[in-house]
A and B are shown apart, each in its own frame.
Chain A
Amino acid sequence: MSEDIKTFTISVYTENNIGLLNRISAIFQRRHINIESLTTSQSEIDGVNRFVIVVNITETNAIKIVKQIEKQVETIRAYYHTDEETIFTESCMFKIKSELLFDEPQIQNIIKESDSNIVTVNKQFFVLEKSGRRHEIESLRRDLNVFGIMQFVRSGRIAVTKDEMKITEMLSAFNNQ
């Protein structure tokens, strides 16, 4: 009875605590689960952090992992979602030689069609930024690679969920206790 491995986005609301990243990543490491990406930032609530973690695992494991994360004292709440249940994006940057803009007119078309933005241009290089789905970023990278890329970097996934997260209610319930 083997269960399908799927991509899950795990969202974790936490207190802003130095050691917590360690605690959370250890939960994955102990179980040999590779973290595809991990992003942490401020959430919609002041003083509350949000982790967005992407993993490829079975749903049974996703449930177990979420419970282990929630068990951590400084975790307020953790959820897991499939791709269909979230709206997600990644962003990336390309650093490319400026001369190519003029020598290779195709590049201008690629940029135009790719829905990306030029962040800065100087004599030596220009920087292109794009956000979108992985396959869009990958296709842009492939297209530009033909001409040579000086630097490329891609961020982890960030995601919001289609359903509601009742964190504010949970926290105010605590304050009113």
Chain B
Amino acid sequence: MRKSQNIEDMKTQTINNKQDVANKTERITGSEAIVKSLIAEGVDILYGYPGGAIMPVYDELYKFQDQIHHVLTRHEQGAAHAAQGYARISGKVGVAMATSGPGATNLITGIADAQIDSTPLVCITGQVFSHLLGSDAFQETDIVGISTPVTKWNCQVTKAEDIPQAIAKAFYIAKSGRPGPVLVDITKDAQVSELDFKYEKCKGVRSYYPIPKTNQKSVDAAAELINNAKKPLIVWGQGVILGQAEEELKAVIEKSGTPAAWTILGASALPTSHPLNVGMVGMHGNYAPNKLTNECDVLIAIGMRFDDRVTGSLDTYAKQAKIIHFDIDPAEIDKNVKTDVAVLGNSKESLAMLFDALNENTHESWLQEFKDLYDIEFEKVINDDINPTKEGLTMGEVLKQINIESKGNAAIVSDVGQHQMIACRYADFNVTKSNITSGGLGTMGFALPAAIGAKMAAPEREVVAIIGDGGYQMNIQELGTIFQQKAAVKIVVLNNEFLGMVRQWQQLFFDKRYASTEMTNPNFVAIAEGYYIKARKVTKRDELEDAVKEMMASKESYFLEVCVEKEDNVFPMIPSGASVSDIRLS
């Protein structure tokens, strides 16, 4: 069993090794070529699960275990999400591996999640011998066909000599331009036959233009709109993080004095405490940026895709405003919201160009409108969430306690549901890439394995998973991975004994008919302890501070169950299909 402390050593080895792997040609098997290709791409950790059609590769992973660390998850879905967590916190490509048939199909949810959230993943699946393809062989499944709609690119390799090129292309495509998941399916005969191996990184694919050129004229047009705006509003998304444009974003915001709001996946690109950070947009976002979306005169969307959970009804979304859209993906322009000025390109470059063309400005009275609405939200919602006076514990006060202990430096990995919205609303973020959550797909079961990947990619960071009692049980088996890897993940289950978010909708829109949302839960502490993970359960307010302190001080993984109020609701809320300006506070 390896320890995560060794990861740093492994990284250097990997880098050193990369040099000699790349330079000489040698006669090796396809499976060895797969492992050497991964090493040449700088992969230090991958997540997966073995089986018949991928066994030759596992045999090589065994031989190269001093250079590349394979993490055995407890389910292939866990492997995919762990690879996502790894990618999201590090900006590197996450790698997942599985056998053919059920192993490969178990990856699909994670791949779909990575596709909609633009996460760079390389998934390698074993496949039956090529002469058996199409014969309904044991554990044969058309994984290339199945994964096509949810991958950026995929391919099947049936010859050993095609392996290095396919893997090189996979890494290049996964991480370039708008990142995404790719899948390389490799038949068993390709794994066991030999090739002359020499690794060359892919530098381009002739049919693929990952980064469109930024047009100076459109930057100037955007700058002119912003320079003349009285009430500009920036809404940024994950494109800022993926483009490593956090500094450029901050500079643009500060120079133009523009209030700036974020989508769920944009969170943490600008510190929570920044005076121009006006909070989250979207269904459970903050009151001010949602309301004022329909009051601004220029809306500057940066690396976001106008998801329906952000816009509410499109017919009433920012109709009064000129719309500027910065994006790397031309297909996003005018997809949901018609833009007045589109600026294509990598956010780092396009924002730097914008910065040069902007006038220094301030918008004090406009900013005051945000502050006034924040005060209303504080009084009606936030105060009760984080400083509750009722008996039952709230999710918000747990987040507040975590903020105090982490000083805003933790990476928060949230699952899907009420606790996710609370985590994104109330977590303090000082550091970028710290809000790891399933945004576009809303995949329950994401957080526990994603937290493992995040912690292993960034062992120096505090990683806190915030999970509901429902989603926790969707991938609870990954406690085994945490234990085996000694991954020091902090797990907080906010237990309301309900599928809370669905229950909230049932309360609000289905006359409280709680159809199949009530959960009779097991003894979570005993389960964690069964995996030899330190565990504690909190049911009263006066125990909370001490428990969170103990958890955050722990050097090892720690499980904290907090029993919260059963029927609390998350507000503000834009009912689905309503306008952003119809956001409800209760």
- Chain A positions near chain B (C-beta within 8 angstroms): 14-15, 19, 22-23, 26, 30, 60, 63-64, 67-68, 70-71, 73-76, 171, 174-175, 177
The A-B contact count (CB < 8 A) is 48
What are 22 pairs between A and B in contact, CB < 8 Å? Answer: A14-B207, A19-B145, A19-B148, A22-B148, A26-B148, A30-B149, A60-B334, A63-B334, A64-B331, A64-B334, A64-B335, A67-B330, A67-B331, A67-B333, A71-B330, A73-B208, A74-B153, A75-B207, A76-B207, A174-B204, A174-B206, A177-B204
Beyond the given pairs A71-B331, A76-B207, 12 more chain A to chain B contacts, judged by CB atoms under 8 angstroms and listed by A's residue number, are: A15-B206, A19-B154, A26-B149, A30-B149, A64-B335, A67-B330, A67-B331, A71-B329, A71-B330, A73-B153, A73-B207, A174-B204
The answer to the question of B573 belonging to the interface, with a C-beta cut-off of 8 Å to chain A, is no
The contact size tier of chain B is 20 to 34
* Chain A residues in 8 Å Cβ range of B458: none
The answer to the question of B357 belonging to the interface, with a C-beta cut-off of 8 Å to chain A, is no
Determine the distance from Cα of A15 to Cα of B81 in the docked complex, in whole angstroms: 31
Q: Is the CB of B331 within 8 A of A68?
A: yes
Determine the distance from Cα of A64 to Cα of B206 in the docked complex, in whole angstroms: 22
The 8 closest A-B pairs by CB, nearest first: A67-B331, A174-B206, A76-B207, A73-B153, A73-B208, A71-B331, A26-B149, A22-B148
Q: Is the CB of A175 within 8 A of B334?
A: no
Determine the distance from Cα of A22 to Cα of B142 in the docked complex, in whole angstroms: 12
* Chain B residues in 8 Å Cβ range of A30: 149
Instruction: Identify B207's interface contact among A22, A68, A74, CB under 8 A.
Output: A74
Q: Is the CB of B206 within 8 A of A73?
A: no
Minimum CB distance partner of B178 in chain A: A71
Determine the distance from Cα of A93 to Cα of B270 in the docked complex, in whole angstroms: 65
Determine the distance from Cα of A20 to Cα of B25 in the docked complex, in whole angstroms: 32
Determine the distance from Cα of A68 to Cα of B205 in the docked complex, in whole angstroms: 18
| B104 smallest CB distance to A (angstroms) | 15
The answer to the question of B152 belonging to the interface, with a C-beta cut-off of 8 Å to chain A, is yes
Determine the distance from Cα of A60 to Cα of B153 in the docked complex, in whole angstroms: 26
State whether A171 and B206 are in contact (beta carbons under 8 Å apart), knowing that A19-B144, A19-B154 are contacts in the complex. Answer: yes
Determine the distance from Cα of A41 to Cα of B3 in the docked complex, in whole angstroms: 55
Determine the distance from Cα of A63 to Cα of B338 in the docked complex, in whole angstroms: 13
The answer to the question of B155 belonging to the interface, with a C-beta cut-off of 8 Å to chain A, is yes
The answer to the question of B190 belonging to the interface, with a C-beta cut-off of 8 Å to chain A, is no
* Chain A residues in 8 Å Cβ range of B205: 73-74
* Chain A residues in 8 Å Cβ range of B333: 67
The answer to the question of B173 belonging to the interface, with a C-beta cut-off of 8 Å to chain A, is yes
Determine the distance from Cα of A63 to Cα of B342 in the docked complex, in whole angstroms: 15
